[in-house]
Amino acid sequence: MRTGDEALPPCTLCAAPTRREPNPFYGTALSVHRHVLVCTACATVGFGPAPDDDDPEEARRRPHRVGLRARVAGWYRALP
């Protein structure tokens, strides 16, 4: 994972250096970037390199299979 500012790409519009700031929308909807890149000269906001996947897909899976009865019960509970 990149930690220093030397690994940050330059601005795509003016080629000035960028700084990394926390993304205020991280965790809402489809925002997957924890940080955004902000240009020091023109204040353009962009995304850095793709985030590293800390949790592999195997770790996100359930430890056991959920049966049909439990899935149907979950569907009924989700109904308004």
- What does the pLDDT look like over 56-72, one tens digit per residue? 555 556 666 778 888 88
Structure tokens at 14: 């003016």
Task: Show the domain range for 25.
Answer: 5-78
- Look at the chain and report how many structural domains it folds into: 1
Q: What is the pLDDT of residue 1?
A: 46
pLDDT in tens, 29-55: 777 788 889 999 998 898 877 666 555
Report, as an integer, the average pLDDT of 7-32: 85
SS3 call for 25: coil
pTM value?
0.53
Q: What is the pLDDT of residue 43?
A: 86
Residues composing the chain = 80
Rg (CA), the chain: 20
Rounded CA-CA distance 1/54 in Å is 10
